[in-house]
């Protein structure tokens, strides 16, 4: 059946996508697996082929909309409860009508395992029978037999028994409990009552930073890594943190020093790698802060929100200056670097501080809301174009001396004064 909402923008370029408990459906571009099945080289492979945008259709267009029983053709055989993949190596998991076969204890363990193998920002799509609508069918004589099977499973063997039942709040709570975010209900592409849910791995240390990976110039030789301004989400590879306060001390697993990024208490080249994301736009002197980062780090990466991100998310309140005035720096890209332009109070109040717009955009891009076609487009566009909504620079001292940066300060008479070029 037509299922365009199962597709994620640009997923054809993702490295590893899993189709767990695939049954008779073989998804192109995915690693298909089930607890039993014939390997892909088996005969009669072609009738199983389909596409994520048309889940139950054959490629020749026949038997559309019907989950016809076919041979189970797989790339690998294993139980979907414990996929044999290393942590943080999977971009997307699709598991259709399988989670209900587990009891609650195993369902919890399975979601924890899936979260573990997904990359930061990795996508999970699951579908399960919808209990409340199925119970309604029990009162319809011509649908009662189906409803009982839908609740209990086919019971053909030990693997086809339903042990858990879900309504929308149940599956949403379960995903949220296991560290998934941006949980949303997708249109039901089944011919029976079902919940189709999409969620994203909210890495406790790197939320929604798929677009940053791999970090420029970072490799296995970087043994000491400083994360400057991590808040509650330090990099998993960080060996040290530095922040303006200890507000998120409980979220950090590594030593953290407190202070001002413009005066880092470390020796020259003290760290193999320095990471600093969405910090410099808050500082009094971003060039001085950037010099400090490059002084203490042999290699590094900095990122700030572009002015387009500031506008979309209405960041006026978030960028309060140290002197208490609203707004600080707007950031623009230059080749290999960043331009910092000081934002006036008038500009902040006029165009960057509208709570209504901010709340609407956050609801569309982040929160648990039913999506119509336009909202789905904006959500996919927002999370797929982070490289155009953020400005970044990096350095590698053996080959590149510095990241480039320019700071423009707005003086009282309205003239822009170039502070300096770094």
Q: Based on the fold, state whether residues 187 and 282 are members of the same structural domain.
A: no
The span from the CA of 131 to the CA of 165, in Å, is 6
**Residues 89 and 221 placed together within one structural domain of the fold:** no
State residue 270's pLDDT score. 95
CB atoms within 10 A of CB 18: 25
Q: What is the C-alpha to C-alpha distance for residues 376 and 21, in angstroms, rounded to an integer?
A: 27
User: Same domain, yes or no, for 345 and 259?
Assistant: yes
Predicted pLDDT of residue 421: 46
Q: What pLDDT, on the 0 to 100 scale, is given for residue 250? A: 64
Res. 188 pLDDT band, cuts 50 70 90: confident
pLDDT above 70: residue 251: no
Lowest-pLDDT range of 31-35, 122-126, 398-402: 398-402
| Residue 275 and residue 164 share a domain | no
Average pLDDT over residues 284-301: 90
Looking at the fold, whether 64 and 187 belong to one and the same domain comes out as yes
Q: pLDDT for 23-38, tens place per residue?
A: 888 999 999 999 888 8
Phi-psi region of 263 (alpha: psi -120 to 50; beta: other; left: phi over 0): beta
Does residue 98 surpass a pLDDT of 80?
yes
Predicted confidence (pLDDT) at residue 207 exceeds the cutoff of 70:
no
DSSP secondary structure of 262-327: TS--S-TT-EEEEEEES-GGGSS-HHHHHHHHHHHEEEEEEEEE-HHHHHHHTTTGGG--TTS-S-
The pLDDT score that the predictor gives to residue 368 is: 44
Band of residue 126 on the pLDDT scale cut at 50, 70, 90: very high
40 and 129 belong to one structural domain: yes
Averaged pLDDT of the chain = 78
Q: Are residues 140 and 258 in the same domain?
A: no
Which of 131-135, 215-219, 395-399 is predicted most confidently? 215-219
**C-alpha separations of 239 from 227, 285, 394 in Å:** 8, 26, 19
Spatial neighbors of 127 by CB under 8 A, at least 6 apart, are 95, 96, 97, 188, 190, 194, 195, 196, 197
Whether 11 and 92 have beta carbons less than 8 Å apart is answered as: yes
Specify whether 119 is located in the same domain as 264: no
> How does pLDDT run across 211-235, given as a tens digit for each residue?
676 788 888 788 899 999 988 777 7
Give the residue from 173, 201, 229 where a domain finishes: 201
For residue 418, what pLDDT band results from cuts at 50, 70 and 90?
Answer: very low
Among candidate residues 175, 201, 227, the one where a domain is terminated: 201
188: domain range? 4-201
Q: How far apart are CA 420 and CA 414, in angstroms?
A: 18
Cα distances from 349 to residues 304, 320, 404, 407, in angstroms, run 21, 12, 30, 22
Residue 318: CATH number of its domain: 3.40.50
pLDDT at residue 383 greater than cutoff 80:
no
How many domains is the chain partitioned into structurally? 2
pLDDT tens track for 141-174: 777 777 676 666 666 666 677 777 888 888 888 8
Token reading at 139: 């009162």
pLDDT of the residue at 360: 74
Q: Are residues 224 and 356 in the same domain?
A: yes
**pLDDT (0 to 100) of residue 198:** 93
**Which of 163, 179, 201 finishes a domain?**
201
Residue 187: CATH number of its domain:
3.40.50.150
Q: Are residues 195 and 248 in the same domain?
A: no
pLDDT at 223: 87
50 plus 197 within the same structural domain: yes
Q: pLDDT tens digit string along 41-88?
A: 666 677 778 889 888 865 454 544 444 557 888 899 999 888 999 878
Between CA 343 and CA 328 the distance in angstroms is 5
Asked whether residue 158 falls in the same domain as residue 282, the answer is no
326 pLDDT more than 70: no
2-6, 132-136, 146-150: which range is least confident on average? 146-150
């Amino acid at each position: 059946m037509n299922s365009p909402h199962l597709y994620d923008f640009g997923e054809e370029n993702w490295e590893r996508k899993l189709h767990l408990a695939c049954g008779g459906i073989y998804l192109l571009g995915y690693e298909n697996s089930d607890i039993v099945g014939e390997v892909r080289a088996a005969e009669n492979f072609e009738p199983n082929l389909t596409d994520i945008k048309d889940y139950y259709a054959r490629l020749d267009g026949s038997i559309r909309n019907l989950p016809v029983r076919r041979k189970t053709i797989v790339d690998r055989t294993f139980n979907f409860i414990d996929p044999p993949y290393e942590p943080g190596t999977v971009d997307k998991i699709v598991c259709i009508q399988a989670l209900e076969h587990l009891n609650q204890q195993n369902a919890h363990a399975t979601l924890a395992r899936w979260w573990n193998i997904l990359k930061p920002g990795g996508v999970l799509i699951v579908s399960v029978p919808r209990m409340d609508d199925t119970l309604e069918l029990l009162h319809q004589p011509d649908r009662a037999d189906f409803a009982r099977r839908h609740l209990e499973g086919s019971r053909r063997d030990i693997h086809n028994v339903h042990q858990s039942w879900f309504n929308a709040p149940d599956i949403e709570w379960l995903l949220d409990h296991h560290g998934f975010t941006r949980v949303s209900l997708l249109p039901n592409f089944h011919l029976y009552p079902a919940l189709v849910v999409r969620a994203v791995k909210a890495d406790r240390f790197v939320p929604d930073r798929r677009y940053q990976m791999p970090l420029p110039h970072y490799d296995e030789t970087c043994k000491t890594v400083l994360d400057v301004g991590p808040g509650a989400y330090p990099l998993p590879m960080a060996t040290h943190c530095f922040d303006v306060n200890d507000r998120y001390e409980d979220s950090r697993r590594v030593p953290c020093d407190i202070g001002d990024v413009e005066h880092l208490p470390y020796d020259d080249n003290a760290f193999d790698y320095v990471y600093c994301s969405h910090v410099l736009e808050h500082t009094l002197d971003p060039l001085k802060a950037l010099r400090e980062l490059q002084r203490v780090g042999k290699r590094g990466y900095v990122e700030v929100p572009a002015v387009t991100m500031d506008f979309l998310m209405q960041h006026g309140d978030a960028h309060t200056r140290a002197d208490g005035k609203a707004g600080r720096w707007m950031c623009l890209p230059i080749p290999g670097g960043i331009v910092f332009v000081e934002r006036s109070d008038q500009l902040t109040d006029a165009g960057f501080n509208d709570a209504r717009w901010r709340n609407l955009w956050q609801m569309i891009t982040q929160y648990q809301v039913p999506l119509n076609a336009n909202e789905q487009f904006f959500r996919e566009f927002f999370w797929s174009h982070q490289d155009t909504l953020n400005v970044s620079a990096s350095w590698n001292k053996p080959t590149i001396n510095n990241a480039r940066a320019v700071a423009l300060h707005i003086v009282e008479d309205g003239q822009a004064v170039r502070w300096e070029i770094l």
